[in-house]
Structure formats: structure tokens, C-alpha cells
Amino acid sequence: MKLARILVDGRPRTARVVEGGYVVESAERGEREVSSAGVRLLPPAVPTKIIAVGWNFPEHVREMVDRMPERTLPQPPDEPLLFLKPPSSVVGHLDPIVYPRQATRVEYEGELVAVIGREARRVSPDEAREVLAGWTCGNDVTERDFQRTDKQWWRAKGFDTFAAVGPYLETEAPEPDAWIRTYLNGHLVQEGQVADMLRDPFLIISLISEAMTLVPGDMIMLGTPPGVGEVRPGDAVVVAIDGVGRLRNPVVAEG
């Protein structure tokens, strides 16, 4: 089932996605259907934090190592490489990704995103399956030059609009053979399958929960397939995941 967050009568509401619109339930008015034409679509959840996984696809590891002067392929670490993106970086489907005025190289990273549905602390991988609300598409936008020069990734990963997510929350998990694809201006640039991930999503959620309490709305961006590349103002990026959805965002210059 696909769920959306939409703005109805000036208030954000969760609704079921149906052909041509949404079904909204309320205590005051019961169940009613609204057309998608007159409704603003919001990001599918409101996170208190976004935790992202780096280097979770082997071929992406290789392509990033190829950019390094030493070109030495490291051994995968014992634990996944994790980092935080701020809630202020979140935008939804069709919202613009803003190219910062001080940026020199901004890149797309299409990803599968897990969304937490109930509070989780020190859960096992099996228990992690029970705390999920669902899945969505994401774009872990990155300023690559700042990522290389800054000691931490707060800026490279944290600019406003650098966590595009949506369009909907899919409650059913994607199949292992589901494709994660990214398109730049209509051209396929990234491709990988869920089964290609080095780390199981539920192991990642379990590990995160050992350090911090996950609460409803929190998002885990699960890493990007190979093919990352540069975007410029005027571009449009689409992240499409089988069974989950299709997220589209234009890129615009700041100011």
C-alpha cells in the first residue's frame, strides 16, 4: 500500500494513494477522496534525523576509489560507514534541489530509504523489521569537493534541499531483485539492485538503534549504486525504484 502526506484544508494529512488522487480519513468528515490536481504533495515523513550509509554497493566503492590518487581498494569495514543529514535538508517530490552559490561540484546519489514507524532502541535485526513504517525513494545530494576537504560531512551532505525523498511511503518491502535506477535529464545514469547491498537494511537499523533511539519519521538512506555524477542548474533528476516509486526533482541555482 502506498501512503502520501498531503496538504488538505491547510493541514498536513496522511492519505492512501489511489488512481487520480488520495483517500483521506478524519474523525470529523469520515473517509473522502480528493483529486491530486488540487493537493500539495509533501515529503512522506517528518524525520527528527536522517542517517545515511556510505559505500554500501561494491561497484560504487570501486568508482569512488578510482577518484583517489592512491587508487587502493580498501577492505570493507567491519561496520557500515554511517553519517547524519539534518532534517532541514529534506524536500519532497517535484521540489527543487538548490545548487548552493558556493558549491563547485554537486552530485546525485539515488537511494532506497527506510522510514521508521515506531520508537526503536537496541532492536535486533529481526525486531527491526517490525519498527518500519515503509520505504521511499531518496536522493542523497552531495557537494563532492566539500566532502573531500571538510573533516566531517556536515556541509557536503547537509545543505538545504540535499535530502530529496518521496513521492510516497510504500508499506511493502521491495524485492531483492528490485532495481534502483537514477535518470539525469531522461538518461539512465545509475543502476543497481537491492540485493547488491553489502549491508542488510535491518542489520543497519539494528546497529543504529544501539547508539540512538529511532522515532517515527526518522529515515535511513541505504546507500547508492554505481554511476554517481554531477548535476547543474537546469537539470532534472529522477530516482526510480521498482515497487516503491519514482522521485523527480529539478535543480535550480540559489538565489
Task: Give me the CATH number covering residue 13.
Answer: 2.30.30
CA 163, 168, 171, 177 dihedral sign is negative
Question: Do 74 and 97 share a domain, yes or no?
Answer: yes
CATH number at residue 151: 3.90.850.10
Residue 64 is predicted with a pLDDT of 66
pLDDT in tens, 136-157: 999 999 999 999 999 899 999 9
Question: Do 145 and 249 share a domain, yes or no?
Answer: yes
Residue 13 is predicted with a pLDDT of 93
H or E, element range at 28:
none
Identity at 62, one-letter amino acid code: R
Question: Do 179 and 108 share a domain, yes or no?
Answer: yes
Question: Do 151 and 216 share a domain, yes or no?
Answer: yes
Question: Do 19 and 75 share a domain, yes or no?
Answer: no
Q: How far is CA 245 from the centre of its chain?
A: 12
- Of 22-36, 112-126, 160-174, 215-229, the range with the lowest mean pLDDT is 22-36
Question: Do 106 and 170 share a domain, yes or no?
Answer: yes
- Of 60-69, 90-99, 114-123, 173-182, the range with the lowest mean pLDDT is 60-69
Question: Do 56 and 18 share a domain, yes or no?
Answer: no
Q: At 67, is the pLDDT very low, low, confident or very high (cuts 50, 70, 90)? A: low
Mean pLDDT rounded to a whole number for the chain: 93
Residue 77 is predicted with a pLDDT of 63
Residue 137 structural domain:
43-253
Look at the chain and report how many structural domains it folds into: 2
What integer is the mean pLDDT of 98-127? 98
Question: Do 131 and 249 share a domain, yes or no?
Answer: yes
Question: Do 168 and 55 share a domain, yes or no?
Answer: yes
**pTM across the whole model:** 0.93
Q: What is residue 254's three-state secondary structure?
A: coil
Question: Do 152 and 186 share a domain, yes or no?
Answer: yes
Residue 251: which of 43, 107, 85, 40 has the closest Cα?
107
Question: Do 160 and 200 share a domain, yes or no?
Answer: yes
Residue 72 is predicted with a pLDDT of 56
